Amino acid sequence: MGIFTLRLIESTQKLGLRTVAAASKVYKHLLDECNLYLKGDSCICKVRVDFTSCDSLVALATSMLTSKPACMLNSREKQHIGSLITQAFLYSIPCNSSGATCFGRTVTIAIESQSVSDAAVFPGLLVDVPEMLQPADLKRLGSGPLKVVLFNTSLAGDISEVGDVALEVYGGVDPDFEVLRQLLRLGEHIVKNEATLFACQKVVHPVLQQYLREHGVIVIERLGLGLMDPFVQITGAQAVASLCSPVPPEAYGLIKGLSFQSCGSRELLQLLPCKDFPFSTMVLCHRNETMLEELKSQSMVAKTATSLGVSHSEFLMASEVFCSSLRAVTLSLEHDGQDCLIDLTYAHRWVPDMDSPNSVKRACGCGLVEDRSNLDKTPLNTAYHTFCPVSLENTDNQPKILDSFSAKLSALNVAVEIANLVLDLKYIIRDVN
């Protein structure tokens, strides 16, 4: 996007068009034409994805990772993460649904200083293992479903967390003791209602934790705000905001079961949803924090003609600038000084074979077109006759490189809009003080 924007601005200024407004109008018109074609059924830039085969989905995920060099992934790691992204997507598709369907959800957990190969996808929600929880504790639970209660308020027992209110305390009454007694009443109520899992967004008082554990209840504290919504989705529980009143029956949720999962050196507790709810957790691993953040940001897509009011020559010059700027983007894909070729039949991009400079690779850049003797090619940055690309039909080849169509379309629109905005600037006010 940046290359296209800068080339539009630079080339327009070099041409010295009568008015910048003329160029902007032409660029807007050409952008509308591009949008019209790209969104049409006849567009040959789009590839139909076969959801019965994972190859296209993995190719899309891997291509997006390849475009992000800051992720610092080798080819094997890209393939591994691409497969995990595809697996997480498939987990999000509901089973046996009829009518309108909503995709499920994928939560991402990042683990630093672990090998990328340790990354994995798990059904359900993964959280940190509570202190003192042992595998034997889970075996004693038996088969599900298990009853769940969730709190979004602090259960630490601190008077200071009551809020900015005036408290009236009678003589001889210990406020801290009364709060603790109320917490234990809450614990008795939870045990009486046969809840198996007690979760809290914030801190739970150690005495309450001990009481619940003695009665076979698993306690998860410090869930954090980020996991509250996923926890509600997977369990169906309603977050309780008060410790002073009994938990209503409708606030309880259910899970299918609990289990331990290891990811590298980290142990996590897995919550499995009831009724095959489409929910999964992707655990991403990388060698350091910077690479991990970049990987997280990737592991995550627009619709026209106007009366231009410009001369014929201005239109042709601006059109050439637009096309040459697009070619500059294609040429920038090669970083090793290799020529970039285009075939004059399908208009696909080709790269010479490094081992044999006089020949090209057996297939085009995307892998859909195989080379043959009668397929004419020419360097992309040279003149060639105008032609209409032939669409591919009945090909058995699967694309090796895919990208998000909506993301590329959005980038094209943003690039032209930014260029037009910059070209429309008339004055720059500079503070010399």
Could you count the other beta carbons within 10 Å of the beta carbon of residue 278?
19
Can you tell me the distance from the alpha carbon of 206 to that of 290, in angstroms, rounded to the nearest whole number? Answer: 36
Q: What is the pLDDT of residue 354?
A: 65
208: CB partners within 8 A, 6+ apart = 155, 157, 180, 183, 184, 186, 187
Q: What is the pLDDT of residue 366?
A: 77
Query: Residue 13 forms beta bridges with which residues?
Result: none
Q: What is the pLDDT of residue 307?
A: 32
Phi-psi label, residue 233: left if phi above 0, alpha if psi -120 to 50, beta otherwise:
alpha
Can you tell me the distance from the alpha carbon of 300 to that of 64, in angstroms, rounded to the nearest whole number? Answer: 10
Can you tell me the distance from the alpha carbon of 284 to that of 299, in angstroms, rounded to the nearest whole number? Answer: 9
Q: Match 């059904």 to its residue by tokens.
A: 123
- Which two tokens mark 346? 């399908």
Give the CATH number of domain 125-272; options: 3.50.7.10, 1.10.3720.10, 3.40.50.300, 3.30.1490.20.
3.50.7.10
Phi, psi of 204 (to 5 degrees): -115, 135
pLDDT tens string, the chain, 433 residues long: the values are 678 888 888 877 776 655 666 778 788 888 888 888 777 777 767 666 666 667 777 777 777 777 677 778 888 888 888 888 888 888 887 776 666 666 778 888 888 888 888 888 998 899 988 888 888 888 888 777 899 999 998 888 776 555 555 666 666 666 677 788 888 999 999 999 999 999 999 999 999 999 999 999 999 999 988 889 989 989 989 999 888 888 999 999 999 989 898 887 788 999 988 877 788 898 888 877 777 777 766 664 222 222 344 554 566 677 777 788 888 877 777 666 667 888 888 888 887 776 665 666 677 877 788 888 778 888 877 777 777 777 777 666 666 676 777 778 888 888 888 888 887 776 666 767 6
Q: Does pTM top 0.85 for this prediction?
A: no
Q: Which residue, among 264, 104, 133, has the nearest Cα to 199 in the 3D structure?
A: 133
Domain ranges of the chain: 125-272, 322-390
Q: What is the pLDDT of residue 189?
A: 92
What b-and-e string marks burial along 255-271, b requiring 16 or more CB atoms within 10 Å of the CB? Answer: bbbbeebebeebebbbb
Q: Are 351 and 335 in contact (CB under 8 A)?
A: no
40: CB partners within 8 A, 6+ apart = none
Inter-CA distances, 106 with 56, 124, 230, Å: 20, 9, 9
